[in-house]
Structure 1
Amino acid sequence: MTHNDAAPSRKAPAKARRSRLFAPFILAAILAGGWCYGWFWLRGQAEQRMDAQAADLEARGYDLSWSARTFSGFPFRMNIQLADVRVAEPTGWALRVPQLKGEAAVYDLTHWVLVAPGGVVLTRPESGDVTITGEALRASISHVTEYPPRISVEGAKLTFVPAPGAKPFTLVSADRMQLHVRGGGPDDQGAVFFKADGAKTAFPGLLGRIAQDKTASMILETRLSHVSYLRGRNWAAAVKRWGEAGGQITVQQSQILAGDAEGKAKSGVLGVDSDGRVTGLLSVAIKERADPSQPIRTPEQALAAAAQAMGQEPVIEADLRFDNGRTYLGAIDTGPAPTVY
C-alpha cells in the first residue's frame, strides 16, 4: 500500500470529530424549537380555557368579560394583561377591575399571581359601589382542582370609598389586610382567615360601639363544614344549599382591638338563616373603659363604668347570641345580626 492510499484512513477520525462538534448545537436548536412550540401551544390553551369559562358562566347567568387581552412572558413565564375586567353573579354582586395583570410559571399554569394596580370596584346589590384602592392589591390562586381553590388576597394602605348615594362599607381604610380561603380539608372542611391592621371601620351595632372612631386591628379565623355544598346559581342560592346540608361555621379565633376597647370570641358555632342573617352563639369577652368625662350611651359602657367604680377590670363575659335577625349580648339587644347575602 502506498503513502497516498493510506492518507484517507488517517483523516476519517478528524471528520467524525468535526461532526460531533456540531451535535450539541443541533440538539439545542431542536430543544429551543420544541420549547417555542410548547409555549405558544400553552398560550393557545390558556386562551381557549378562558373563553370556554366565560361562555359557561354566561350560560348560567354570570358574567366574565374583558375589553382587551394580551399574553407575554416567553420563554419561561406566562403573563397576561386584561383591561376592563368584569365578574358578576346573578344577584347583583360584581367586581370591576380597570387593569389586571397575571403571572404564572409556564410549567405550572394552575398557580397564578394577580395584581390590580388601579384598584377594583365592588358592586353590592341594593347598597351601591365601593372603590378599593391602595399602594398594593394582589391575589394568588392555586389548587384549582379543589373546591374552593386556594385564594389569598393581600393589600397595603387600602381605602374603601362608597360611591355617592351608596350605603357605608364596613371598612373605611386599612394599613394592611389579608384574606385567605382554603378548601380540600378533611371531612369536607374549608377554612377562612381574615386579618386587618391599622383599620378604620364603620361597623353597625356592637362592633361599631367597640371600634368607634379608633384605629382597630381585627382577626377572624373560621372553619366551614360541608363546604362542597357551597355551590349554586348565585351566592344566595349557594349559601341556602349549604345551610340546608347542615353547613356550619366554627369560630376558632375572632378579635377586634381598638384603643383600650377589645372584643374577643373564645368559641362558638354559627349558621345562616333563610334570610341570610347569621344565627348561633358565641362566648365573648368585651373590655371597654368608660371615659368619666363622657356621658354613658350604651349598656356596655354602663357595665364597664360600674366595674371600674368597684375597682374591677371592665371586662364583660357573656354569650353573644344571633337570633331572629337580632344580636343579643346576654339579655341586651345590641342591634341587627350580620348578613351574609
Structure 2
Amino acid sequence: MTSPRHSRRGLLIPFLIVGLALALWTGWWFYLADQVETRIAAQEQVLRDDGWRIAHQPVSVGGWPFRTRVAFPQAEIIAPSGHGVSAPELVAEANAWNPGHWVVIAADGLTLTRAGKGRIDIGGDGARMSVNRLRDRFPDLRAELIRPTFTPREGAEPFPIASAEHVQFEMRPHLTDGVAATDELDVLFALIEARGRPGGPVEGAARSGHLSVEIEATIEQASRLRGVDSAGVFSNWSAAGGRFTAVRGRLRAGESSARLSSEALSAREDGRLEGRLALTAERPGEAMAGLAGSRSGAVNRVAAAGAAAAARAQGDRPMDLVLRFSDGRTWLGPFALAPAPKLF
C-alpha cells in the first residue's frame, strides 16, 4: 500500500504572506518617498516666494525598507533677514512608520551666516535637529551642537564663543493644565562650558574659565513668529506685542554664578531687549572685573570696573541684583555695562 502524498501548499502560505506584506510595505514606502519629495519642493517654493534663498544640489531619497532618508548636498538656507546656515550636506531621516518625526544631521559641520557680520564655521562632534508632531500647529523641536567650535572666516566680525561642550535649544507648545496653549511656546536654551574668544567679553567675564548658561521662558503670541522683511521673525512678533514671560535660569562665569528670573521681557523697535532681569549672584565682582579687563569694544570697561568695585564692597555674600535693559543698554544700577541683547 502506498502512503498518501501530503500537499506542500501549506508550506508556501507563510512565504506568500511575507511576500504580500513586503509588496504592500514597498508600495507604501515608494508612496511616502514620493510624498516627501513633493512636499519638500512645495515648501521650498513657499519659502522662496516669501523671500528666502534656498539652494542645494539634486535631492536623493533612500532608506528602504524601514527609513526615509533625504540628502541635500551643498545645502544653503538664507532667511530674508540675511541670517542663515549652509552645509556640505544635510541629511533628514524618519522611520517609515512614523513620518511625523524627523531627525536632521549635518555630519560635516555647518556654516552660520550673520547678516552684515560675515560667516562662522561650526565644527565639532555633531550638529543635529529633531522635529516631532509636524502636523500639529506647533511641532516639538530640539537642536543641539556637540562639542562645537566656532571659527570666523576671514573678514567676519569676531564671535564671542570659541568653543563649548554642548549647545542645546528646545521648543514645544506651552501646556496649561495638561492642554497645549493656543498661542504660546516654551523654549529652553543651554550653553554648557563655553570658552570665549581671546580678549573677548566672555573670556573676560569667565576670567579665562568656562561660561555656562541655562535659561527657559514662555513665548507669547507665538503665531506671530514669522515675517518676510529684513528684520526677520522677531520684528513682526515684537510689533504684535510678543513677550518672553516666566523667564528662569542659571548662569556661571568662572567663579561667579547667579540665578536669574524675569516676569516679562520684550523688544524695542530696533530689536534690543527691554525689561528687568533679577539676579541672585554669588561673587559677581569677579565677573565684573573680568569684563572691565576685556578688550571688547562693546563693553563699557569704566562702568564694569565701577560695578566690580561696588560688588566687592559687599564681600562674598550672595547679592540680589537687577539688570535693566533700557534705552538700548544693559544697566546694573547706575552702570551702563554694554548694549542690550539684540533680537533682530
Q: Same fold, TM exceeding 0.5? A: yes
Between stretches 147-156 and 231-240, larger displacement belongs to: 231-240
Give the counterpart of 2:27 among 37, 42, 65: 37
> Is residue 205–residue 335 contact of structure 1 (8 Å, CA) maintained in 2?
no
Give the counterpart of 1:176 among 163, 166, 172: 166
> What SS class does the counterpart of residue 270 from structure 2 fall into?
coil
CA distance in 2, matches of 1:47, 1:20: 42
> What SS class does the counterpart of residue 336 from structure 2 fall into?
strand
In structure 2, relative to structure 1, the CA distance for the partners of 1:282 and 1:71 (3 Å cut) is: same
Q: Which amino acid aligns with 1:64?
A: I
CA distance in 1, matches of 2:335, 2:263: 19
In structure 2, relative to structure 1, the CA distance for the partners of 1:238 and 1:58 (3 Å cut) is: same
CA distance in 2, matches of 1:156, 1:178: 9
Higher relative contact order (CA 8 A, sep 6+): 2
Partner of 1:298: 305
Q: 1:85-123: per-residue Cα shift (whole Å, max 9, x none)?
A: 111111211110112222210011111112211110010
CA distance in 1, matches of 2:35, 2:28: 10
Give the counterpart of 1:190 among 181, 185, 188: 185
> What SS class does the counterpart of residue 78 from structure 1 fall into?
strand
Between stretches 313-322 and 215-224, larger displacement belongs to: 313-322
> What SS class does the counterpart of residue 191 from structure 2 fall into?
strand
Larger helix proportion, structure 1 or 2? 1
> Is residue 192–residue 223 contact of structure 1 (8 Å, CA) maintained in 2?
yes
How far residue 321 of structure 1 moved from its aligned partner, in angstroms, is 1.1
How many residues are paired up? 326
Partner of 2:54: 64
How far residue 48 of structure 1 moved from its aligned partner, in angstroms, is 1.0
In structure 2, relative to structure 1, the CA distance for the partners of 1:172 and 1:102 (3 Å cut) is: same
How far residue 152 of structure 1 moved from its aligned partner, in angstroms, is 0.9
Partner of 2:299: none
CA distance in 2, matches of 1:205, 1:133: 20
Partner of 1:4: none
2:335 corresponds to 1:332:
yes
The 5 Å alignment of 1:121-132 reads: 121-132=111-122
In structure 2, relative to structure 1, the CA distance for the partners of 1:112 and 1:204 (3 Å cut) is: farther
Between stretches 92-101 and 148-157, larger displacement belongs to: 148-157
2:311 corresponds to 1:321:
no
Between stretches 270-279 and 238-247, larger displacement belongs to: 238-247
> Is residue 189–residue 227 contact of structure 1 (8 Å, CA) maintained in 2?
yes
> What SS class does the counterpart of residue 99 from structure 2 fall into?
strand
The structure with more radius of gyration: 1
> What SS class does the counterpart of residue 54 from structure 2 fall into?
strand
How far residue 133 of structure 1 moved from its aligned partner, in angstroms, is 0.8
RMSD: 2.9
> Is residue 285–residue 307 contact of structure 2 (8 Å, CA) maintained in 1?
no
How far residue 205 of structure 1 moved from its aligned partner, in angstroms, is 10
In structure 2, relative to structure 1, the CA distance for the partners of 1:247 and 1:112 (3 Å cut) is: same
> Is residue 69–residue 93 contact of structure 2 (8 Å, CA) maintained in 1?
yes
CA distance in 1, matches of 2:114, 2:198: 16
> Is residue 146–residue 165 contact of structure 2 (8 Å, CA) maintained in 1?
yes
- The percentage of aligned residue pairs carrying the same residue is 28
In structure 2, relative to structure 1, the CA distance for the partners of 1:106 and 1:203 (3 Å cut) is: farther
Partner of 2:108: 118
> Is residue 266–residue 274 contact of structure 2 (8 Å, CA) maintained in 1?
yes
Give the counterpart of 2:72 among 65, 79, 82: 82
In structure 2, relative to structure 1, the CA distance for the partners of 1:235 and 1:19 (3 Å cut) is: farther
> Is residue 210–residue 262 contact of structure 1 (8 Å, CA) maintained in 2?
no
How far residue 209 of structure 1 moved from its aligned partner, in angstroms, is 5.3
CA distance in 1, matches of 2:165, 2:11: 60
> What SS class does the counterpart of residue 341 from structure 2 fall into?
coil
Q: Which amino acid aligns with 1:159?
A: T
> What SS class does the counterpart of residue 68 from structure 1 fall into?
coil
In structure 2, relative to structure 1, the CA distance for the partners of 1:146 and 1:28 (3 Å cut) is: closer
CA distance in 1, matches of 2:24, 2:222: 42
Gaps of 5+ in 2: 175-179, 294-301
How far residue 215 of structure 1 moved from its aligned partner, in angstroms, is 1.1
How far residue 137 of structure 1 moved from its aligned partner, in angstroms, is 1.6
> Is residue 288–residue 300 contact of structure 1 (8 Å, CA) maintained in 2?
no
The 5 Å alignment of 1:50-61 reads: 50-61=40-51
CA distance in 2, matches of 1:324, 1:224: 22
Partner of 2:127: 137
